[in-house]
Amino acid sequence: MTTPEPTFEQAQAELEQIVQRLEQGQASLDEALALWERGEQLYALCRARLDAAQGKVEELARRVEQSRPEGAS
């Protein structure tokens, strides 16, 4: 059974925790590598969600612009 994908907020919070742990420098090399890899996964997930949200906002803005009557500002 696979674990459900985290929400954007969950991924962001986990990524922040990973950054803090790596900045502290107290993780072993193997642990630091695993944390780095997980951080890369979370970053990609957050970036994809932000890109998708931006695309939706741009599409909604286009729809609003197209629905305006001629001459309206």
Backbone angles phi, psi at 25, to 5 degrees: 70, 20
Nearest to 22 by CA among 46, 41, 39: 39
Q: What is the pLDDT of residue 3?
A: 79
Where along the chain do its domains lie? 8-65
Say yes or no to pLDDT of 73 above 70. Answer: no
- pLDDT, tens digit (0-9, with 9 covering 90-100), for 7-66: 999 999 999 999 999 999 999 999 999 999 999 999 999 999 999 999 999 999 999 999
SS3 70: coil
User: ∠ at Cα 27 (26, 29), nearest 5°?
Assistant: 125
Q: Does residue 2 carry a pLDDT above 80? A: no
Give the integer Cα–Cα distance in Å for 34 and 72: 55
User: Given pLDDT bands bounded at 50, 70 and 90, which one contains residue 4?
Assistant: confident
Structure tokens at 31: 């642990």
